[in-house]
Amino acid sequence: MSEQRLRLASLYIHPVKSCAGLRVPRWTVADTGLRLDRQWMVVDADHRLFTQRQDPRMALIRPALTDDALLLDAPGMPQLRLPFEAPGAPRRVQIWSDEVSGIDQGDAASQWLGDALKAKLRLVRFDASQPRIVDPRWTGEHRAQTMFADGYPFLVASTAGMEELNRRLAERGLPAVGIERFRPNLVIDGLDPHGEDFLDELRFETPDGPVAIKLVKPCVRCTIPSVDPATGVQGHEPGDTLSSYRADARMNGGITFGMNAILLEGAGRTLAEGMEGEATIAF
């Protein structure tokens, strides 16, 4: 396989699934993805996943992190503080076709979410004692796990892909959008537009050893990238523009942006923005 040099342009985590994300200058890698990424999830009265698809105002719930707690803020709401290891009752919850174990974060968190989103909701933390295994149809011989991500521990996107989308939006007289709408974990420089579609592995050398990530599946997009993260209002862009050029035959014509990925090596090591790396090209 041929190799290509690249640079890690930015890192993002999303502690609560479907709430706002955080850009982090450096962050620890875990077997399940970036540490604390999608460790918490909102569920409805039937214990099923609740996301911006049901209420785009979730984009206005903004997390912050201390050394030992998750903090949540939302317009007109007092701040909610949740210790990382807060005890709670076990709860079976549904995320897409998977039923997994969560730890309920209590009535105060439920009331806070209910007041913020005007719905009957609970917050659960992923139960790390019961791993969630990634679909082996896409990972092949590699066994991978994740927490409350849709299905894979990492999402990789490129600055060039984002620039191409914004170029097309500008051609249509529409404003640019930010990459945070696509909720990536790793954003990489040094590729052609959507060059991540053709990569096999990413490798970064850290002071503690390598971090190796394998790209396994194109990410089919729903309506969430068309939610304005500043207002929590659902729109039609950039979804309509993406649909004009990103239909992916590998996904039966689904509209894709970015690649889902798994960890091959490097749990416990730290990635940092600006870090140089290399990629192998898939043929």
Q: What is the tens place of the pLDDT at every residue in 140-182? A: 999 999 999 999 999 999 999 999 999 999 999 999 999 999 9
Please give the pLDDT value at position 88. 96
d(CA 177, CA 169): 9
Q: pLDDT per residue over 79-104, tens digit each?
A: 999 999 999 999 999 999 999 999 99
What residues contact 107, with CB distance under 8 A and at least 6 apart? Answer: none
Using alpha carbons only, what angle is made at residue 280 by residues 274 and 283, rounded to the nearest 5 degrees?
145
Cα 256 to the chain's mean position, in Å? 14
1 pLDDT higher than 70: no
For 126, counting Cβ atoms within 10 Å of its Cβ (0-12 exposed, 13-18 middle, 19+ buried), the class is buried
Domain total of the chain = 1
What secondary structure letter does DSSP report for 280? E
DSSP letter assigned to residue 16: B
Q: What are phi and psi of 106, to 5 degrees?
A: 100, 170
Q: Is residue 282 very low, low, confident or very high in pLDDT (cuts 50, 70, 90)?
A: confident
CATH number for position 23 = 2.40.33.20
* Residues spanned by the domain of 52: 3-281
Q: Tens of pLDDT along 236-260?
A: 999 999 999 999 999 999 999 999 9
165 and 177 in contact (C-beta within 8 Å)? yes
Taking the C-alpha atoms of residue 48 and residue 150, their distance in angstroms, rounded to an integer, is 13
